[in-house]
Chain A
């Protein structure tokens, strides 16, 4: 077996913390673009969040968006350039807090785009504030005693929420806590892109991912937190698959 850095992933050191899931997910997206042979016609959006420098790591065209606005920007790009492959790469603060309106409406319109949603249950870049996806009882700088059901409300489950919308084609939740799940994540991302290439409509892949720094745990404990705590609140699986493939 061979394992080499794929062409679309720029050969450089990332700014991510040790054990951060973003690096794994970047690699998977880059490998899928190369395997599908679409790098030259791919246009991505970069979020506000730790992945704000996404454009420094990928060899495709990337537009930096205002916080949360990626699905609206991607809508415009895809409608103007339908032959191009268009995807957003967003954190949970970006996609499910400030950008929730854009997310829901782009999904509901069935825009033919691919959304890569990195759920690390926290605002990483700004130092660990509560995200819509923070677990009940999970500590953050804005929920020092742990997120409370009465005070902050329970975590928002984005796949479940979007599965109610008729416009949506494909929703799958995966994780990058171990190699087996990483391989499954790549399959889901590939399917998300294939759906778009074949004109099937809105696809979102939600990836449960580690943020050891703002969870204030070691990388190994962070992988365990995804495996035990996050998966029990955010079950993995396919939430919608309109073509049943």
Chain B
């Protein structure tokens, strides 16, 4: 299981990552983050995520990471 992390405060709610994930692992939130944007979140459990990183490639705000080192992501609430 890939350890995908979404920094929801960095997310601007564009939805490009959700469109990109062919496994349906991501969805948009119903509520908003502190900036007032809906944000990307895990759709159910992380188990479906293959760690392919295509969502990370699409994110204009570098809000998604897949890291073994814990130091690179902050405020991972999802």
Name which residue of chain B comes closest to A182, CB basis.
B57
Q: Give the distance in Å from the alpha carbon of A18 to the alpha carbon of B60 in the complex.
A: 8
Q: Does B69 contact A (CB under 8 A)?
A: yes
Name the one of B20, B37, B62, B69 contacting A18, with C-beta atoms under 8 angstroms: B37
Q: Does A189 contact B (CB under 8 A)?
A: no
Q: Is the CB of A23 within 8 A of B53?
A: no
Q: Does A231 contact B (CB under 8 A)?
A: no
Q: Is the CB of B37 within 8 A of A4?
A: no
Q: Which A residues lie within 8 Å of B10 (CB)?
A: 13
Q: Give the distance in Å from the alpha carbon of A218 to the alpha carbon of B58 in the complex.
A: 15
Q: Which B residues lie within 8 Å of A178 (CB)?
A: 20, 58
Q: How many residues of A contact B (CB 8 A)?
A: 27
Q: Which A residues lie within 8 Å of B60 (CB)?
A: 14, 16, 18-24
Q: Does A183 contact B (CB under 8 A)?
A: yes
Interface code B2-33, partner A: CB below 8 Å = 1, 0 otherwise? 10000000101111100110000000000000
Q: Which A residues lie within 8 Å of B52 (CB)?
A: 1
Contacts A178-B20, A179-B54 given; does A4 touch B67 at CB 8 Å: yes
Q: Which A residues lie within 8 Å of B15 (CB)?
A: 19, 218-220
Q: How many residues of B contact A (CB 8 A)?
A: 29
Residues of B within 8 A of A (CB): 2, 10, 12-16, 19-20, 37, 51-62, 64-69, 72
Q: Which A residues lie within 8 Å of B51 (CB)?
A: 1
Q: Give the distance in Å from the alpha carbon of A196 to the alpha carbon of B13 in the complex.
A: 37
Which 8 A-B residue pairings sit nearest by Cβ, starting from the closest?
Answer: A23-B60, A19-B14, A18-B12, A179-B54, A219-B14, A179-B57, A18-B14, A3-B56
Q: Give the distance in Å from the alpha carbon of A19 to the alpha carbon of B17 in the complex.
A: 10
Residues of A within 8 A of B (CB): 1-5, 9, 13-14, 16-24, 27, 178-179, 182-183, 212, 218-220, 223
Contacts A14-B61, A23-B60, A219-B15 given; does A4 touch B69 at CB 8 Å: yes
- Max count, chain A CB within 10 A of own CB: residue among B14, B66, B72: B14
Shortest CB distance A55–B (Å): 18
Q: Which B residues lie within 8 Å of A218 (CB)?
A: 15
Q: Give the distance in Å from the alpha carbon of A17 to the alpha carbon of B60 in the complex.
A: 9
Name which residue of chain A comes closest to B72, CB basis.
A4
Q: Which A residues lie within 8 Å of B69 (CB)?
A: 4
Extra inter-chain contacts (19) besides given A212-B14, A220-B19, CB under 8 Å: A1-B2, A3-B66, A3-B67, A4-B65, A4-B67, A4-B69, A5-B65, A5-B72, A9-B62, A13-B61, A14-B61, A16-B61, A18-B13, A18-B14, A21-B60, A24-B58, A178-B58, A218-B15, A220-B16
